[in-house]
Amino acid sequence: MTQLDHTSHEITSGEIRAHLRERSAATLRRRMLVSKIMTVLCWAAIVAAAVPLIALLIRLFEKGTPVLFKSGFFTQLPQQPTLFDQTNTGGVSNAIVGTIAMIVYATLASVPIGVIVGVYTAESESKFAAAIRVVASTMVGAPSILMGLFAFGVIVVQLKLGFSILAGSFALSVLMLPVLISSTEIAVRNVPTTLREAGLALGAKPSTTSLRIVLPAATTGIVTGAILAISRAVGETAPILLVIGGAYAVTWKPGDPGSALSVSMYQDVGQAYDSLKDQAWGIGLLLVLVIFVLSFAARIWAARKQKVQR
């Protein structure tokens, strides 16, 4: 060893080691620096994401809360402000009733069909079921305005039923269907196979097993999916904007032209009067509150049910 150290004058192994140590120390310093910078940037990303969203919520509550407490917001029909009475906006009773009516009709139409199709795609392995699955997941991602065009083509053009609450409900139910199918399918598939096998082993018919054992076990998932589909439909604007016609009257009748909260909000914000723009904030806050309550309900319900099952 000593001899070797004496003979190799140009580069000793110690020098190599020192050089390597220095180099690795340099890369380590560089790597740590990059890592620190990127960590800071990740934090910056979370701030950049949060700031606009929080600003939006603050503005919504700040501008919307006084509108919600205005007398007659829930009970009066909308009024057109004039130059002499610029704050005379009235309420949104027609839009509230219109939205509730459309949601109810759309839910009644789409939930049974969606759940049945979802159960079918979960239980069948046929080519047809696979095709339905693909169609449903494609429709989930389809732009919602296409549902409006479809509703116009079917209800207004083909069936000649006119711009109506019915047409709006039709658009919403087509929008909700694929969501319901997918969520039901996932809920049914998440039921342990052992449950189904136990039913079959006891001699129950496959249909009895599905209806009496698998479906009850999947109820939580199905209901949660339905609530989330409804909360998506509540705020949807584009499809119903095309087909409900708009009405300054409170009506539940499917055949009448109707109004909706989201559509009123969209129309109010384009008006010249500041009071109507404020009204839009109020409607927005109402929509957001309803949707938050719905999603919280779905969440809490799902969590509680899970606890009970354990």
Partner 1 sequence: MVATANSSQTAAGAEGRSPSASARGAYEWILLVVAGLFGIVSIWFVGTIIWQSASTFKSQGLYLLTGANWVPGAGTGLPSQYGGRAMIFGTIETSLIAMVIAVVIGTGTSLAINFFVPQKMKTFVATVVELLAAVPSVVYGVWGMLVLAPWFMNTVGPFLSSIPGGTAVLGTTVAGKSLLLAGLVLAVMVLPTYVAISREVIGAVPHELVEASLSLGATRWQTLWKTVLPTARIGLFGASSLALGRAIGETVAVSLVCGGVVGTTFKPLEPGVTIAGWIATQWGEAVGSDQIGALFALGAILMVVSLAMSVFSRRLVARQRRAAAVV
> Dihedral through CA 233, CA 237, CA 240, CA 245, nearest 10?
140
Q: Residue 203 interacts with partner 1 (CB under 8 A)?
A: no
Binding mask 111-150 for partner 1 (x = CB under 8 A): --x--xx-xxxxxxx--xx-xxxxxxxxx-xxxxxx--xx
Q: Which is nearer to partner 1, 3 or 193 (CB)?
A: 193
Q: Which is nearer to partner 1, 5 or 248 (CB)?
A: 248
Candidates 236, 256, 258, 259; binder of partner 1 (CB under 8 A) is 236
Q: Residue 216 interacts with partner 1 (CB under 8 A)?
A: no
Q: Which is nearer to partner 1, 154 or 161 (CB)?
A: 154
Q: Do residues 162 and 255 lie in contact, with contact meaning Cβ atoms separated by under 8 Å?
A: yes
Q: Residue 277 interacts with partner 1 (CB under 8 A)?
A: yes
Least spacing, CB of residue 7 vs partner 1, in Å: 35
Q: Which is nearer to partner 1, 97 or 120 (CB)?
A: 120
CB burial of 15-34 (b: ≥16 within 10 Å; e: otherwise) equals eeeeeeeeeeeeeeeeeeee
Q: Residue 157 interacts with partner 1 (CB under 8 A)?
A: yes
| Residues 65 to 94 in contact with partner 1, rule: CB under 8 A | none
Residue 71 phi, psi (nearest 5):
-70, 135
CB burial of 107-141 (b: ≥16 within 10 Å; e: otherwise) equals bebbbeebbebbbbbbbeeeeebeebbeebeebee
Candidates 95, 241, 244, 247; binder of partner 1 (CB under 8 A) is 241
CB neighbours of residue 158 within 10 Å? 9
Q: Do residues 97 and 168 lie in contact, with contact meaning Cβ atoms separated by under 8 Å?
A: no
* H-helix segments, the chain: 2-7, 13-68, 93-123, 127-140, 145-151, 165-189, 193-201, 206-208, 215-234, 238-243, 261-268, 274-309
Q: Residue 198 interacts with partner 1 (CB under 8 A)?
A: no
Structure tokens at 253: 């009748």
From 38-46, 73-81, 98-106, 251-259, give the range in contact with partner 1 by CB under 8 A. 38-46
Phi-psi region of 191 (alpha: psi -120 to 50; beta: other; left: phi over 0): beta
Q: Residue 305 interacts with partner 1 (CB under 8 A)?
A: no
Q: Residue 232 interacts with partner 1 (CB under 8 A)?
A: yes
Candidates 95, 229, 265, 276; binder of partner 1 (CB under 8 A) is 265
Q: Which is nearer to partner 1, 18 or 48 (CB)?
A: 48
Q: Residue 14 interacts with partner 1 (CB under 8 A)?
A: no
Candidates 16, 26, 32, 300; binder of partner 1 (CB under 8 A) is 32
Q: Residue 44 interacts with partner 1 (CB under 8 A)?
A: yes
Least spacing, CB of residue 239 vs partner 1, in Å: 9
| Residues 158 to 187 in contact with partner 1, rule: CB under 8 A | 158, 174, 177, 181-182, 185-186
DSSP 97-146: HHHHHHHHHHHHHHHHHHHHHHHHHHH--SHHHHHHHHHHHHHHTS-THH
- What's the DSSP call for residue 272? S
